Amino acid sequence: MKKIVQRIYLILSAVALIVMSLSSFGIFISGTDGREYDFTSTSLVSLADNSVVSNMPWAILVLALLGAFIAFFTLFLTFFQNYELQKRLTIFNVLLMAGLLFVYLAFYLFFSNELDAIAFNACWWVSALPVVALILNVMAFNAIRSSEAAVLKEATSFRLRD
């Protein structure tokens, strides 16, 4: 039962990261000329003439897809009961999600200063997906630990004779 729970957590984490990488984070409204700019995981696009202003946010896409790949890889490791590697990959994925949040915040602050933005109409659920993925990875780590403890308890509780 615990393996099913950790698989569900890892699947939901990977799906959250994939959806985040494919969605728009929000729209900046410039204070100088009033133009609107769409902030996605691959670029910053001017909505007035559909021109690409910056291709710098590709790091967000790479981190999100790498996190999804690691979550899927950890999911497939649940079939082989390699608990130590599962725990290590999950910890690495948690650190990767923290880095993703830092990079997202850095790009948000950079673009808001660069465009002299007066407003940012955020798509709040897309902005919350890295936090959701991070929480799901922590929950998967706890499920992996408890599953490993159950296997160890079962292995050490066997007595050959009374």
Domain CATH code at residue 16: 1.20.140.150
pTM of the predicted model as reported, rounded to 2 decimal places: 0.87
| 67 vs 90: CA distance, rounded Å | 10
Q: In the beta sheet, which residues pair with residue 38? A: 27, 45
Domain assignment present for residue 160? The answer is no
Each residue's pLDDT, cut to its tens digit, for the chain (162 residues) gives 677 898 999 999 999 999 999 999 999 998 888 889 999 998 999 998 888 888 889 999 999 999 999 999 998 888 888 889 999 999 999 999 999 999 999 999 999 888 888 888 888 889 899 999 999 999 999 999 998 888 888 777 666 665
Domain assignment present for residue 158? The answer is no
How many domains does the chain contain in total? 1
Domain hosting residue 41, numbered range:
2-146
Domain assignment present for residue 42? The answer is yes
3-state secondary structure of 33: coil
Domain assignment present for residue 55? The answer is yes
Domain assignment present for residue 88? The answer is yes
Locate 8 and state its tokens: 């569900």
Domain assignment present for residue 35? The answer is yes
| 31 vs 41: CA distance, rounded Å | 23
Name the burial class of residue 68, with classes exposed (0-12), middle (13-18) and buried (19+) by CB atoms within 10 angstroms of its CB: buried
